[in-house]
Chain A
Amino acid sequence: MSRIIRIVVLVVLGLVWLVPTYLLVVNAAKDPTTFTTKQSWIPTDFHLFQNIGDALTLSGLGNSILSTAIYSIVSPAIAVVVGAAAGFAIVALKLRRGFLWFVVIFGGTVFPLQMILLPLFDGYSRVGLYDTRIGMVIVYTAISIPFSAFVMRNFFTGVAASVFEAAVLDGATTWRIFTRMYLPIASSALVAIFILQATFVWNDLLLGLTLTQSDDIRPIVTTLSGMQSTYGGAQMSTVLAAAVLVSLPTVILFLCTQKFFAKGLALGQY
């Protein structure tokens, strides 16, 4: 097919694809007092920042953002190190029956979340972790570990065994070899896993819905879902502004790191 036709097809299709985003931004920027659901296509005013400000105080979205930032930074950060430690044990330290332990850890991602929701809810309620930040950090960490271990095991397989041998001859302890040599070599892989998992945690609905109830603990997407049901009628432009606010960090992160995403996705994360 000729170049021109391809470009025309892509541009037309691309414009169609941008329509929902256009409608989101245009309507999120409308003044709630004059907002009407009957006139969605034409921009009227630019009230976006005021609407975002309003959204922050609605349903405690502001507190929710703080909690979600903690979850999506702390959990993936712990998970990449724990996953790297497992990969280090299996590959560099030649853990006996290492492949079996790898399968045990990786197997944690193959079933749907539905399989663990109720017992987590039940268990969390019993031990006092229900509706707590620490409880959310723990569960998001556990869920991020299998993928992290999977990537790090593959990564460390590519590190020559002589690196480890040389360090041992220098008298380094395994802890020192792990923290001073293996983690630094793996920094690009660690960052890739971190970005993928942070996005996953930021966009999570189901665990937030199941394991939290108060405004300042609830993750942001769960809060947005609640806002949609509660204020979707009267304050639609505020809800749309909240959707813009919730989406911005992951959209920017994704567009800046496309290649990492694609690699991670090809490895089985979706």
Chain B
Amino acid sequence: MTTRTATTYQWSARGFVAPGVILVAVLLYLPLLWTVYLSFTHYDGLGDPQWVGLDNYVEMFTDPGFVGSALNTLLWVVGTLIVPVGVGLAIALLTWNLGGGIWLRLPFLIPYALSGIGVGVIWSFILSSGGALDQALAAIGVTDPPRWLIDAPLNTVVMIIAAAWQGVGVNALLFTIGLQSIPKEPLEAARIDGANGLRLFGSILWPMLRPLTAVVVGLSIVASLKTFDIVWSMTKGGPGTVSETLALTMYKDTFVNSDYGLGSAIAVFLTIVTLVASIIYLRQQLSPKNEI
């Protein structure tokens, strides 16, 4: 063996790492810092930003529109946890050790590869007044259907269902991979002891799936906090602002109302919430208690 010291290739190593560091620094970190700075200023893109301290944050928390948007975002987080994660796990368990599982999972996987706007176009069409859903309801005698995309909070709920339609497949896929990686021996032992169905799930499968579930739940929370595309496509946050999410409110305040300071403050708030959520699930995932 040669005795390569850590100093041998330092210049070369710096050269290899530099393009990545420079691109990320200039295009991601520099804008990030600028947004943090702008959140403490009044700025409309003309002239120079005026330092106003915490004014934007005070304005943000006292604005009923922002509070509504935050509550909608919370509804998105809870909704996408219950439906896509729950149904995804159910599908993975149902197809587990079943011949032809790949084909039975296929219908759930197709929507996943669609863009958020693609999903929005389909579901706007289905939920429009007198659209496919209303026609189906009329056929069974419901002549006065709800106004799906207009009444709040119904519009947020139906958009969460649209997102769930898209998201179930990938969770099913992740849980399937988790189930396939469970060692066979404890399963066989439990079966011989007479465990099956719910008991098998509770005593063996669930403990083994817990670390993976933490990842799926964490990914789901972080993704739902950033919900933008589907809402942009189906309601644009309306009517008015009733179906806005934080990501949408940030976009509108910034690029429609040109209130750069307030938009930046919302971005900072959203980032902090996202980071806290990521840390919680990463800690959960890495905690030794889960190493079963």
Residue ID in chain B nearest A175 by CB atoms: B12
Complex Cα distance A169/B222, Å? 48
Q: Mask for B213-245, Cβ within 8 A of A = 1, else 0?
A: 001000100110110110011000000000000
Whether the Cβ atoms of A112 and B225 lie closer than 8 Å is yes
- Whether A85 touches B17, Cβ cut-off 8 Å, given contacts A38-B130, A118-B254, A247-B113, is yes
Min CB distance A149 to B, Å, is 6
* Binding stretch for chain A, among B59-67, B114-122, B150-158: B114-122
- The answer, yes or no, to whether B30 is at the interface (CB within 8 Å) is yes
Min CB distance A187 to B, Å, is 18
* Binding stretch for chain A, among B50-58, B187-195, B270-278: B270-278
- The answer, yes or no, to whether A171 is at the interface (CB within 8 Å) is no
Complex Cα distance A251/B20, Å? 30
Whether the Cβ atoms of A138 and B27 lie closer than 8 Å is yes
Whether the Cβ atoms of A108 and B104 lie closer than 8 Å is no
Interface of A is mostly: helix
Q: Mask for B10-32, Cβ within 8 A of A = 1, else 0?
A: 10111111011101111111111
* Binding stretch for chain A, among B91-99, B141-149, B202-210: B91-99
Instruction: Give the contacting residue for A174; candidates B12, B27, B110, B174; CB below 8 A.
Output: B12
Whether the Cβ atoms of B14 and A95 lie closer than 8 Å is yes
Whether the Cβ atoms of A205 and B116 lie closer than 8 Å is yes
Instruction: Give the contacting residue for B271; candidates A9, A114, A202; CB below 8 A.
Output: A114
Complex Cα distance A231/B111, Å? 23
Min CB distance B270 to A, Å, is 6
Whether the Cβ atoms of A93 and B12 lie closer than 8 Å is yes
A-side contacts of B23, CB under 8 Å: 82, 138, 141-142, 145
Min CB distance A38 to B, Å, is 6
Complex Cα distance A202/B116, Å? 11
Q: Mask for A233-247, Cβ within 8 A of B = 1, else 0?
A: 000100110010011
Total number of residue pairs linking A and B with CB closer than 8 Å? 289
Min CB distance A183 to B, Å, is 12
Interface size on B, residues (CB 8 A): 95
Instruction: Give the contacting residue for A105; candidates B21, B122, B177, B274; CB below 8 A.
Output: B21
- Whether A27 touches B125, Cβ cut-off 8 Å, given contacts A86-B17, A112-B271, is yes
Instruction: Give the contacting residue for A114; candidates B108, B120, B267; CB below 8 A.
Output: B267
Whether the Cβ atoms of B229 and A205 lie closer than 8 Å is yes
Residue ID in chain B nearest A206 by CB atoms: B228
Complex Cα distance A168/B135, Å? 72
- Whether A165 touches B2, Cβ cut-off 8 Å, given contacts A41-B132, A118-B263, A265-B170, is yes
Whether the Cβ atoms of B4 and A142 lie closer than 8 Å is no
- The answer, yes or no, to whether A192 is at the interface (CB within 8 Å) is no
Residue of B10, B20, B91, B255 most packed against chain A (CB within 10 A): B20
- The answer, yes or no, to whether A20 is at the interface (CB within 8 Å) is yes
Residue ID in chain B nearest A165 by CB atoms: B2
Complex Cα distance A270/B113, Å? 11
Instruction: Give the contacting residue for A270; candidates B122, B222, B229; CB below 8 A.
Output: B222
Residue of A104, A149, A205 most packed against chain B (CB within 10 A): A205
Residue of B4, B10, B17 most packed against chain A (CB within 10 A): B17
Whether the Cβ atoms of A268 and B219 lie closer than 8 Å is yes
Residue ID in chain B nearest A222 by CB atoms: B117
Considering only residues 125-176 of chain B, those with a C-beta below 8 Å from chain A are: 125-126, 128, 130-132, 135-136, 165, 168, 170, 173-174
- Whether A37 touches B131, Cβ cut-off 8 Å, given contacts A20-B126, A86-B21, A168-B2, is yes
Complex Cα distance A243/B266, Å? 31
Q: Mask for A81-120, Cβ within 8 A of B = 1, else 0?
A: 0110110111001111010010011001011111111111
Whether the Cβ atoms of A41 and B136 lie closer than 8 Å is yes
- The answer, yes or no, to whether B260 is at the interface (CB within 8 Å) is yes
Complex Cα distance A209/B236, Å? 13
Whether the Cβ atoms of A199 and B270 lie closer than 8 Å is no
Residue ID in chain A nearest B12 by CB atoms: A174
Whether the Cβ atoms of A117 and B20 lie closer than 8 Å is no
Whether the Cβ atoms of B110 and A251 lie closer than 8 Å is yes
Query: Closest 4 interchain pairs by CB?
Result: A119-B31, A254-B113, A89-B16, A142-B27
The 6 sampled A-B contact pairs (Cβ below 8 Å) are A85-B20, A86-B19, A90-B17, A95-B14, A111-B32, A114-B226
Which B positions have Cβ atoms within 8 angstroms of A? 1-2, 4, 6-7, 9-10, 12-17, 19-21, 23-32, 34-35, 38, 45, 91, 94-95, 98, 104, 106-118, 120-126, 128, 130-132, 135-136, 165, 168, 170, 173-174, 177, 197, 212, 215, 219, 222-223, 225-226, 228-229, 232-233, 247, 250-251, 254-255, 260, 263-264, 266-268, 270-271, 274-275, 278
